[in-house]
Structure 1
Amino acid sequence: MALITKIREKSGIAAAAIAISLILFLIGGDIFQGRSSFFGGAKDAVGEIGGETIKYQDFQNKVDEITQQYQQQSGRSPGEQEVSMIRDQVWNQYILDLAYGKEYETLGLTVSPAELVDMVQGTNIHPSVRQQFTNPQTGQFDKNYVIQFLKNFKTLPAAQQQAWVNFEKSLSQDRLRLKYENLLKMSTYTTNVEAQKDYVAQTSKVDARYLYVPFYSVADSTIKVTDAQLEEYLSSHKDLFQGQTTRSIQYVTFPVIPSKLDTASFYNDLKRLAKELAIAKNDSAFAMMNSDVKTPYYSTLAEIPEAVKGQLGNMTPGGIYGPFKNGLTYSIYKYGGIQKDSLFTVRASHILINAPKDASDSVKATARKRAEGILAQIKGGASFEAMAQQFGTDGTAQQGGDLGYFKNNGGMVKPFENAVFAFSGTGLLPSIVETDFGYHIVKVTEAKTNTRYKLAAINRTIAPSQSTMDEVLRKADAFAAENTTKEAFEASLKKDKTLLMLRGDRIPEGASSFNNLQNARDIVRWAFNDDTKVGSVSDVFQNDNQYIVALVTGSTDKEKVKVDDFREELTARVKGDLKAEQIEKKLAGISGTLEQIAQKYGAGALVETATDITLAQGVLTSAGADPTAIGKAFGLKVGKRSKPFKGEGGVFIMETTKSTPAPAIADLTLYKNTAKMMAGQRTSFYINEAIKENAKVVDNRAKFF
């Protein structure tokens, strides 16, 4: 996705710190309410990093310090997501100081004052600085804005000065992390043997015929599995069943839905607003003032909802249109005509064949040839979207190559942008486009346009009245009061079929949501409370537009893995082994051709053929991507047959009928570079996990917040 985002995203802990520092510097926030009365003695540890205990009060003091700065600058309270981000920043700062800091110190890594100046106002401006000091007229970074800000720095309020100091500190930490990661990235390499292995896995092929008896052909009712067998399997496969501390719950939801009276009142209000919008002298201001969800007056085609977009051709200036429904929000529009913008907007898709600008000529030539071959197939009738999913090498591949809407303002690399905006209409660009990222096959899906539409939109969300909410709460309270035990809870569900019961399985301790419940932290915290046991029933929780009463039905502990924690998966695996033994025993006594064996075996046995199987992407007809069977096909000599063996989903007898070795290749650079690139993409994650593991990070925040 580098083409789309232009490296605007940063992975890892330091990036999170930068993001929050920017928010603090530019907007601000509120102060959290302390909870010190909840904690004391040995129970006040928020966590432990590198052998150092982080006390709740110390942690909260840092949170308070940041949120005070936040509040002073914005004058508003943070939302729940902002609250979580600020806490994460404080925690991540501890990790940077106590875990990463030791690594930097050991290696002698520092960021000099000169480097910091260079990142802020020098030659190598940090992306975060570029993002914030942008000229609104040109949309480009303007160094003069930075210089002017720094000249006036001492005249700024103390809170904003401190926020800038924190921001610069986060820039230094980001640079330190980048240096550290680059050191490790540069230490990774791919040998010729590894590259040759990847090449062979992708290009060598075999054809095979095989007999396949899937496990599902044997009825589960004929296989008896005991707890002793499950215990034995769990004991011998501990690496496959890693424990996790979780809770499982059942919960009854009482949705708060607008009543008929609420709905009638809402529609009357909407009709009144439509009449007033029609005669309003300043329609855009009137719409903004009366909207629950505010939308811009001038909108490009890309910004207009699909339902409205389809009606634009029928709209006349001054007309009122709608209501248009989107979920619980209804919108009415007053159309004011069109305006031409200085920028064009277009929607396009692409298939990127990766070939970095520093790649060798042979790698680029191979990539270009591959791109031209794909382009030729699409011109011949192949689906662009299917080819993108199969051959695309960036994050758009799974979306059929869709890049969404973008403007000709430098959001894309220049050669790509020039090619797309030089194209008229929609359709496939006739030639590939070369950029520093590689070669692109491009399809314009919505033609470029610089038309903006004047739409004064009143967006109102229908909501239940207070009396409706009170009535639903009364019902939820009555249910909670009458069903305080597991037995009573379940009996009520059986008795009253109108109650909506849902399950939340294996909810982790730090979860803030589960199923379709967002902002459900209070429910999770209750489920993990020391006083909450399996069988406990909660009081009433309010969650957005519903009330909830929950029952804890199960718990797991990462330190004490039990059969019940993985019963279904263990049972399926043990049944698979028992079925395999049964099938193999029956097949062992049968001889003849595969067809004869299948006939003698009886129902369930399939004989199939697979051609051009590769190790990297081999797929069998009924069995799918079964690595055991595919590996066996490559391991057999042509004309040889295997004995019955267990695969992932059944038992096979494999015959290899043809083998096509990978052609000799002189230059493995493409495969080495691909492997190196993929390893580099994983480096940040692996470094972070390794450092946390080495520092023995224990995160207990979920018990406090």
Structure 2
Amino acid sequence: MAILSKIRERSMFLIIIIGLALFAFVLDPSTLGDFFNSSKVNEVGEVNGEAISRQEFATALEAYKQQAGGRVSEMQAAKSVWDNIVRKKIYKNQLAEAGITVGEQDVWNEVINSPSVNNSPQFQNEAGMFDEGKFKQFLADTKENNEQLWSAWSNYMNQIKDNAETNTYNRLITAGLGASLKEGENEYMIENTKVNAQFVYVPYSTVADSLVKITKSDIEAYIKNNKAQFQVEAARDISYVKFDIVATPEDEVAIKADLATLIEDFKKSSDNKDFLNENGSETPLDLNYKYNANVNQTVANDIFAGDKGEVFGPYKDQGYFKISKIVEVSKMPDSVKASHILIPFVGAQRATPDITRTEEQANKLADSILTVVKRRSSKFADLAKEFSSDKSNAEKGGELDWFNYSRMTPAFRDFSFTNKKGTIDVVKTPFGFHIVKIDETKNEQKVLKLATYSRKIVASEKTENDVFQKAEQFALAVSNNKDYAQVAKDNNYNLRPAVGLKVLDENVPGIGNQRPIVSWAFGRDLETGDFKRFDLEGSHVVAIVTGKTEKGLMPVSKATNRVRPILLNEKKAALLSEKVKGADLQEIAKANNTTVRTANGINLKTPTLSGVGAEPKVVGAMYNAAIDKVYSNVVGSRGVYAFKVSQRNLPTALPNYDSNRKKIAEARKGLTFKMYEALKEASDVEDNRANMYVSN
């Protein structure tokens, strides 16, 4: 019966849905197809009416993430891929409208003329010239036999095509971005015309804020009249309390006591590596030599006064409790100066493509050079210049600067620090074979090899449970009492805000990368006051939605702090307008209990008034004003002005203004990024990625 009941319920649901669809069809027959069309569900956006499907986006996203090799987050990758797709479609649309096509031959020419292809020995003939036939054969063989490599080449050629389309369009636009001689002349005049003036300045601060009333309707009206400035994306405000799971002093005492029980067994152990592994050390065995400065300074002197076999600790160090056993005592310099000749081989790290010798051949060459320099060390510098692949110091005869123990690769380091001045030998490293000569050493001192057992300082299970209970109790209190701020205050919890989170953000201030919290905050049915507990790595967070801003015009509550100062100044300007009027600057100054000021040598390039600051509107008015005429009630950024221009010094006229014209033209041609921003602003871009990344 229960099953039949469910079928009846679903049947009724379907009848209602079909009825609504038919009703819509009666009103507008074209809507029926749209009603049942699920294509919108499979789209992440549109650019000028062209859909971006989920499949297209997902394929590009996966390719980008593989190329990035895990170095970017999901949302960083999604943003880059979206931007790339939008850019590509905008440029394709522009090229199509202009009737311009970038063909296969154009792309092919770009590919074969790129240095990475044209200069590759793999595609050159016996004369060392690029052979197009060889390259074509390589691509044909790759397509047939190596799917992964062919995919990489296909992506590369597609990228070449995209770049060619972008560059073609940009070149066409920049070709028309010249400048006239008249523009050059105007630029010259603006930069070099100097104005001397007298002015009276009455700052807005002379009118008390209390004398000006700004209402909510004033702010609403300003927003509506300046819609372009107040368009905002959807945003959410949250507040949260973070409950960190950290070890208590009692937990630390317990961990330290546990380590103390291992000391005697550690002393007796003949295999330090096994001891660390069997007892669960959280750091591996490190038998590099340690200088006093490399060891925790609270115990360093005690350890360095010890003998081989002694165990020290437990001591606290960088989030761990440790016990350390002296394995070896020696003496070494703290820095060495050496020279080397590097002989790499095929497969060695950083080996350049022109290296063709095998490892065996490299070893033989290194031994031959060693034989020569051991007989005559004076030949070392010349042989370094001739044979060493380390060009950064080959010209200096292979000489390296002073280096400390931690700088070089292990084999090179160990040889350098455990041998005496003048020692020469061959050392193999991942970079190849080095003929190394120790030139100088300094500051010889005691060093130790230490086997160190480590236990991370973490909260006990009891502490974890206690923290969890606190988070749960706070969440419960919030559910019973909507005044979450008061609940936090009563419990002495730190309530932190995260304001203006965007739908595709992943970072929450104070917590870091927590995409799940952002996704939850944008849930469709979530309302202000709703909350949730999140279990994070090392903490619990109870988050509360405190504000919602929908896409469109900024709400008054959000815009008030931005609009109020503007409206204050506008209303203060109106109040001051009657006081900053007249035909005589001295009278205007006297009426406003101020003085007449002087401004000499001002120009439009740097529109600043001495003692006041930047005032582009006022300086612009001075630039165009008649000489010796008083202008009053001039509204500026910082106050209201009256002024009189006493002198306008024009620069010497030039025979022509071609250099200025060229400067303007070159500056314009370098702004291709602004071209794209203008195209994007003029395009109809619909971004629905949030549907993929927001929990419902």
The residue aligned with 1:555 is 548
Structure 2 counterpart of 1:479, from 474, 477, 486 = 474
Could you report, residue by residue, the CA deviation over 1:637-673 in whole angstroms, capped at 9, with x for unpaired residues? 3433321222112111223333222331234344333
Could you report, residue by residue, the CA deviation over 1:66-115 in whole angstroms, capped at 9, with x for unpaired residues? 76xx3xx99x8x35x25345434653564366443333344454555555
**Residues 303-322 of structure 1 mapped to structure 2, 5 A cutoff:** 320-321=293-294
Could you report, residue by residue, the CA deviation over 1:592-617 in whole angstroms, capped at 9, with x for unpaired residues? 654x6445424xx5654333222021
Secondary structure of 1:632 counterpart? helix
Structure 2 counterpart of 1:48, from 46, 59, 80 = 46
Contact preservation (8 Å) 1:525, 1:703: no
**Residues 451-490 of structure 1 mapped to structure 2, 5 A cutoff:** 453-455=404-406, 465=459, 472-484=467-479, 487-490=482-485
In the alignment, structure 1 residue 539 sits paired with structure 2 residue 533: yes
The residue aligned with 1:639 is 628
In the alignment, structure 1 residue 125 sits paired with structure 2 residue 118: no
The residue aligned with 1:519 is 513
The residue aligned with 2:86 is 95
Q: What amino acid is the match of 1:104?
A: L
Distance 2:218 2:644 in 1: 33
Distance 1:134 1:550 in 2: 60
Distance 1:493 1:462 in 2: 31
Sort the Cα spacing of 1:239 and 1:65 in 2 relative to 1 into closer, same or farther, 3 A.
Answer: closer
In the alignment, structure 1 residue 83 sits paired with structure 2 residue 74: yes
Q: 1:552 Cα deviation (Å)?
A: 2.4
The residue aligned with 1:220 is 209
Q: 1:505 Cα deviation (Å)?
A: 2.9
**Residues 59-208 of structure 1 mapped to structure 2, 5 A cutoff:** 59-60=57-58, 63=61, 70=66, 78=70, 81-88=72-79, 90-92=81-83, 94-95=85-86, 98-107=89-98, 109-111=100-102, 115-120=106-111, 122-125=112-115, 153=142, 157-208=146-197
RMSD, aligned CA = 5.1
Distance 1:322 1:253 in 2: 34
In the alignment, structure 1 residue 582 sits paired with structure 2 residue 572: no
Sort the Cα spacing of 1:516 and 1:674 in 2 relative to 1 into closer, same or farther, 3 A.
Answer: farther
Distance 1:461 1:525 in 2: 36
Contact preservation (8 Å) 1:319, 1:335: no
Q: What amino acid is the match of 1:490?
A: A
Q: What amino acid is the match of 1:687?
A: Y
Distance 1:681 1:461 in 2: 58
Larger Cα-atom Rg: 2
The gaps in structure 1 that reach 5 residues or longer are 1-38, 136-141, 273-289, 298-315, 344-421, 423-447
The residue aligned with 2:685 is 697
Sort the Cα spacing of 1:110 and 1:636 in 2 relative to 1 into closer, same or farther, 3 A.
Answer: closer
The gaps in structure 2 that reach 5 residues or longer are 1-36, 123-128, 264-280, 298-317, 321-331, 343-394, 409-449
Sort the Cα spacing of 1:65 and 1:634 in 2 relative to 1 into closer, same or farther, 3 A.
Answer: closer
The residue aligned with 2:300 is none
Q: TM-score w.r.t. structure 1 length?
A: 0.59
Structure 2 counterpart of 1:616, from 574, 592, 605 = 605
Secondary structure of 1:616 counterpart? coil
Contact preservation (8 Å) 1:537, 1:551: yes
Contact preservation (8 Å) 1:485, 1:536: no
Secondary structure of 1:483 counterpart? helix
Secondary structure of 2:294 counterpart? strand
Q: TM-score w.r.t. structure 2 length?
A: 0.60
Secondary structure of 2:675 counterpart? helix
The residue aligned with 1:282 is none
Q: 1:635 Cα deviation (Å)?
A: 2.5
Secondary structure of 1:585 counterpart? coil
Distance 1:117 1:579 in 2: 66
Q: What amino acid is the match of 1:238?
A: K
Q: 1:622 Cα deviation (Å)?
A: 4.4
Sort the Cα spacing of 1:502 and 1:154 in 2 relative to 1 into closer, same or farther, 3 A.
Answer: same
The residue aligned with 2:618 is 629
Sort the Cα spacing of 1:86 and 1:235 in 2 relative to 1 into closer, same or farther, 3 A.
Answer: closer
Contact preservation (8 Å) 1:338, 1:453: no
Distance 2:341 2:186 in 1: 53
Could you report, residue by residue, the CA deviation over 1:410-443 in whole angstroms, capped at 9, with x for unpaired residues? xxxxxxxxxxxx9xxxxxxxxxxxxxxxxxxxxx
The residue aligned with 1:437 is none
Distance 1:191 1:107 in 2: 25
The residue aligned with 2:435 is none
Sort the Cα spacing of 1:560 and 1:154 in 2 relative to 1 into closer, same or farther, 3 A.
Answer: closer
Q: What amino acid is the match of 1:213?
A: V
Sort the Cα spacing of 1:608 and 1:90 in 2 relative to 1 into closer, same or farther, 3 A.
Answer: same
Distance 2:246 2:477 in 1: 23
Q: 1:698 Cα deviation (Å)?
A: 0.5
Contact preservation (8 Å) 1:513, 1:519: yes
Structure 2 counterpart of 1:505, from 487, 499, 503 = 499
The residue aligned with 1:441 is none
Secondary structure of 2:202 counterpart? strand
Sort the Cα spacing of 1:621 and 1:83 in 2 relative to 1 into closer, same or farther, 3 A.
Answer: same
Distance 2:690 2:295 in 1: 46
Secondary structure of 2:578 counterpart? helix
Sort the Cα spacing of 1:656 and 1:323 in 2 relative to 1 into closer, same or farther, 3 A.
Answer: farther
Distance 1:118 1:334 in 2: 59
Deviates more, 1:253-262 or 1:611-620: 253-262
The residue aligned with 1:567 is 560
Q: 1:502 Cα deviation (Å)?
A: 2.9
Secondary structure of 1:530 counterpart? coil
Structure 1 counterpart of 2:592, from 597, 601, 620 = 601
The residue aligned with 1:26 is none
Contact preservation (8 Å) 1:248, 1:505: yes
Could you report, residue by residue, the CA deviation over 1:561-605 in whole angstroms, capped at 9, with x for unpaired residues? 5433412222222211111112222334x78654x6445424xx5
Deviates more, 1:468-477 or 1:561-570: 468-477
Distance 1:469 1:241 in 2: 46
Count of equivalent residues:
503
Distance 1:66 1:593 in 2: 67
The residue aligned with 1:493 is 488
Distance 1:479 1:669 in 2: 72
Secondary structure of 2:240 counterpart? strand
